[in-house]
């Protein structure tokens, strides 16, 4: 898909939701454009003494409901349009979960795997130096994303503290525990999706033992595999960026996790424990009950959606199903639990971290799990009711649910009602 169409594609969801809810035209107009997107050049000293430049962005899409919130990704194909699209999604994701945030996102155009640890640290600190006047605990709160992690967030939080002259842990979430990170953050995205599926299982007519295929075996993919397998479900296929494996009787999850822990692909387990090789592109068409796209955007599209056999798709990645694929899946009777609901466990526990940082009081992991479960079930149930009541897909219902909250906040900020009679 051409990169200049990314945000336009995301806005299709907004237009569809607007058909099912009575909102002022001013609300839609405001949400069609980012509030601000800043582009900078980061120049860092490499280990060999040379200097190298990297493009970087930070987008604050909408701050009507509170400070903007969203991750920072390090990726060689990052673009400004992608950043704005992801910030748009974050705006709706936070509204879906009723978090007091707007949406934001950041990126550096770099392949971090080509950098030494020292170069990666210099780049991370350089990002905060460039955007220190844009971010802040009450203005814009970054977090980890693709190819960034707790270690990088720790460097960034430390750099911000040095710039402002005081500890400010609430400026960034997803930090190491020792620097004010929250328990339960590591598996939050997957755990939120797991709670959602479990809560709606009866409504969706799911069997007690599901066959599950997982596209993408990074953080979210590994955790959802572990959680579902512990419940007795069979993980029959998984893929990562280097390969894919399948086993009709169920894959050995511990074997896959060990391979990833050693820096290997899941494909390295082929021939062991009944694991068979599978073409990566064929994973979406595997015979299964639940398909979990947990990789990147646009992985299920009009070219492969017809091959999907799962009756339920759980979007742990952001934007893995294109609008065209949505139509095809709906026609096949498949239910898609959309990203702005399904993977919102991550931003929800990030919110918990921000709250704990501001309180200076930290919760046990059991409390975090219980609070997350309560919110996922509450919002999942509300969106299910909208979907049934308006006879729309779960995705459209989620956008309607979020748009209602955004519209209420936008209208409360404005004076439009005083000029119309």
Domain count, the chain: 2
Same domain membership, residue 252 and residue 167: no
Inside any domain, residue 329 = yes
Inside any domain, residue 19 = no
Please, which contacts does 380-387 make with residues 24 or more away whose CB atoms are closer than 8 Å?
380/196, 380/199, 380/200, 380/337, 380/341, 381/199, 381/200, 383/96, 383/341, 384/200, 384/203
pLDDT above 50: residue 187: yes
Same domain membership, residue 219 and residue 138: no
Same domain membership, residue 232 and residue 163: no
Same domain membership, residue 316 and residue 223: yes
Inside any domain, residue 388 = no
For residue 312 the two structure tokens come to: 């339920």
Inside any domain, residue 374 = no
Same domain membership, residue 245 and residue 163: no
Same domain membership, residue 193 and residue 121: no
Inside any domain, residue 8 = no
Q: Check: CB of residue 182 under 8 Å from CB of residue 191.
A: no
pLDDT above 80: residue 96: yes
The band of 1, judged by pLDDT with boundaries at 50, 70 and 90, is: very low
Instruction: For residue 289, give the CATH number of its domain.
Output: 3.40.50.720
Same domain membership, residue 169 and residue 48: yes
pLDDT value at position 3? 43
pLDDT above 90: residue 387: yes
Same domain membership, residue 277 and residue 333: yes
**pLDDT tens digits along 191-204:** 999 999 999 999 99
Same domain membership, residue 196 and residue 333: yes
Same domain membership, residue 305 and residue 160: no
**pLDDT tens digits along 241-267:** 889 999 999 999 999 999 999 989 998
User: For this structure, is 105 an active site residue?
Assistant: yes
Tell me the β-bridge partners of 37.
59
Q: Which residue has the tokens 């990030």?
A: 350
Q: Check: CB of residue 56 under 8 Å from CB of residue 42.
A: yes
**pLDDT tens digits along 149-173:** 999 999 999 999 999 999 999 999 9
Q: Which residue in the list 69, 93, 105, 246 is annotated as catalytic?
A: 105
User: Where a domain ends, among 342, 369, 390?
Assistant: 342
pLDDT value at position 377? 97
pLDDT value at position 8? 83
pLDDT above 60: residue 421: no
Out of 282-296, 312-326, 363-377, 397-411, give the one with best mean pLDDT: 363-377
For residue 145 the two structure tokens come to: 């994303």
- Among 39-48, 251-260, 277-286, 295-304, the least confident range: 295-304
Cα 214 to the center of its chain, rounded Å? 16
Helix (H, G, I), strand (E, B) or coil at 109: strand
Same domain membership, residue 208 and residue 142: no
Q: Check: CB of residue 50 under 8 Å from CB of residue 43.
A: no
User: Where a domain ends, among 325, 342, 359?
Assistant: 342
For residue 270 the two structure tokens come to: 């082929």
Inside any domain, residue 271 = yes
Same domain membership, residue 108 and residue 55: yes
Which domain does 243 fall in, by range?
A: 188-342
Average pLDDT, the chain: 92
For residue 280 the two structure tokens come to: 């990566």
pLDDT above 60: residue 69: yes
Inside any domain, residue 421 = no
pLDDT above 50: residue 330: yes
Instruction: For residue 103, give the CATH number of its domain.
Output: 3.40.50.10860
Q: Check: CB of residue 257 under 8 Å from CB of residue 278.
A: no
- CB within 8 A of 70, min separation 6: which ones? 59, 86, 87, 90, 103, 104, 105, 106, 142, 143, 145
Inside any domain, residue 96 = yes
> pTM to 2 decimals?
0.92
pLDDT above 70: residue 365: yes
For the chain, how many helices (H) and strands (E)?
14, 12
**pLDDT tens digits along 132-153:** 999 999 999 999 988 999 999 9
pLDDT value at position 118? 97
User: Where a domain ends, among 158, 177, 196?
Assistant: 177
**pLDDT tens digits along 5-41:** 678 877 888 888 889 998 888 888 899 999 999 999 9
Cα 266 to the center of its chain, rounded Å? 22
């Amino acid at each position: 898909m051409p990169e200049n169409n990314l945000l336009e594609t995301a806005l299709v969801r907004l237009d569809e939701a607007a058909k099912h809810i009575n909102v002022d035209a001013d609300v839609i107009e405001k949400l069609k454009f980012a509030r601000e997107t800043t582009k900078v050049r980061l120049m860092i000293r490499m280990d060999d003494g040379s200097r190298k430049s990297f493009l970087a962005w930070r987008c604050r899409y909408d701050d009507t409901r509170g400070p903007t919130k969203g991750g920072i990704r390090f990726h060689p194909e990052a673009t400004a349009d992608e950043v704005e699209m992801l910030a748009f999604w974050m705006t709706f994701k936070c509204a879906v979960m009723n978090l007091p945030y707007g949406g934001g996102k950041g990126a550096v155009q770099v392949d971090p795997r080509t950098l030494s640890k020292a170069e990666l640290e210099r780049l991370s600190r350089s990002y905060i130096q460039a955007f220190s006047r844009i971010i802040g605990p009450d203005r814009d709160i970054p977090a980890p994303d693709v190819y960034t992690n707790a270690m990088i967030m720790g460097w960034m939080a430390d750099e911000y503290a040095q710039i402002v002259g005081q500890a400010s842990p609430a400026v960034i979430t997803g930090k190491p525990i020792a620097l004010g990170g929250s328990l339960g953050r590591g598996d939050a995205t997957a755990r939120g999706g797991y709670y959602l599926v479990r809560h709606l299982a009866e409504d969706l007519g799911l069997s007690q033992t599901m066959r599950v295929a997982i596209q993408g075996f990074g953080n979210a993919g590994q955790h959802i595999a572990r959680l579902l397998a512990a419940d007795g479900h069979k993980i029959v296929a998984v893929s990562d960026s280097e390969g894919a494996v399948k086993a009709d009787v169920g894959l050995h999850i511990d074997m896959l996790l060990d391979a990833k822990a050693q820096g290997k692909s899941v494909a390295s387990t082929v021939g062991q424990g009944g694991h068979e090789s599978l073409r990566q592109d064929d994973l979406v068409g595997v015979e299964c009950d639940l398909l979990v796209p947990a990789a990147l955007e646009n992985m299920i599209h009009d070219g492969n959606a017809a091959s999907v056999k799962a009756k339920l798709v759980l979007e742990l990645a952001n934007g893995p199903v294109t609008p065209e694929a949505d139509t095809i899946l709906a026609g096949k009777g498949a239910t898609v639990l959309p990203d702005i609901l399904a993977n919102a466990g991550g931003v929800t526990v990030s919110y918990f971290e921000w709250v704990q940082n501001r309180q200076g009081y930290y919760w046990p992991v059991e409390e975090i799990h219980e609070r997350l479960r309560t919110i996922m079930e509450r919002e999942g149930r509300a969106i299910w009711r909208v979907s049934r009541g308006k006879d729309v897909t779960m995705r459209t219902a989620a956008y309607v649910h979020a748009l209602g909250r955004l519209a209420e906040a936008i209208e409360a900020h404005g004076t439009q009602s005083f000029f119309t009679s």
